[in-house]
A and B are shown apart, each in its own frame.
Chain A
Amino acid sequence: EAGVTQSPTHLIKTRGQQATLRCSPISGHTSVYWYQQALGLGLQFLLWYDEGEERNRGNFPPRFSGRQFPNYSSELNVNALELEDSALYLCASSLLVTLRGDNEQFFGPGTRLTVL
């Protein structure tokens, strides 16, 4: 069974540009999560999508946005890139569970975004 896949592996942009990152979840998973991992730091929650809708977002500015497609794949868009946006962007997927507490998230390899 294929795991979570992300593309591209690496992305280099200049300040002010826009970046689009893509994620395909594990087959059967409906929830997709995006996290930012700056160098040497832990993971910070960005966005959660399920069934095509944004369910929750972390403490990030509106220039971080995304969407989820009918096949449950997802895009993360970052507008007006700033130098501090340079980080590893990780996507995770899980089943949407109605019983709270049963939420195993499986991660992709990440997209390393470098803003020059």
Chain B
Amino acid sequence: GQQLNQSPQSMFIQEGEDVSMNCTSSSIFNTWLWYKQEPGEGPVLLIALYKAGELTSNGRLTAQFGITRKDSFLNISASIPSDVGIYFCAGQPASGANNLFFGTGTRLTVIP
């Protein structure tokens, strides 16, 4: 199956700092999605990207679809305590199947 490498695995940051995480794949993707998961809950969609080079923002979150279609990054600016959680990248491969492949997640801890 598709391999998505997500980094870093975990981050400990001070409140107010910016955060950056990225995801790379071994093959071309048509869609990149970023999700946040909190304990005991399902992932919540944050940002969806559909075109190579696309840069999309959602409040303090900004994500980009890499120009090679094999990578994406997510930035969080001015972090706050409620940003704590696990962030997953997910991609839909160009093979045509609708299922998503997920990265292993980035666990974010924000220190007040």
Interface size on B, residues (CB 8 A): 30
Interface size on A, residues (CB 8 A): 30
Contact (A101, B50) CB under 8 Å given A48-B97, A94-B98: yes
Instruction: Say whether B100 contacts A105, CB under 8 Å.
Output: yes
Instruction: Say whether B98 contacts A107, CB under 8 Å.
Output: no
A-B contact count (CB 8 A): 75
Which parts of B72-100 form the interface with A (CB within 8 Å)?
A: 88, 90, 92, 94, 96-100
Q: Which residues of A contact B (CB under 8 A)?
A: 4, 31, 33, 35, 41-45, 48, 50, 55-56, 58-59, 90, 92, 94, 96, 100-110
Instruction: Say whether B45 contacts A106, CB under 8 Å.
Output: yes
Kindly state the separation between the CA atoms of A31 and B6 in the bound complex, as whole angstroms: 27
Kindly state the separation between the CA atoms of A35 and B98 in the bound complex, as whole angstroms: 13
A-side contacts of B6, CB under 8 Å: 42
B44 at the interface (CB under 8 A from A): yes
Instruction: Say whether B1 contacts A109, CB under 8 Å.
Output: no
Kindly state the separation between the CA atoms of A97 and B25 in the bound complex, as whole angstroms: 23
For this complex, 25 residue pairs linking A to B, each with C-beta atoms less than 8 Å apart, are A31-B98, A35-B102, A41-B104, A42-B103, A42-B104, A44-B102, A45-B1, A45-B99, A48-B97, A48-B98, A48-B99, A50-B98, A56-B98, A58-B1, A90-B42, A92-B42, A100-B94, A101-B51, A101-B92, A103-B31, A103-B98, A104-B33, A107-B42, A107-B44, A108-B42
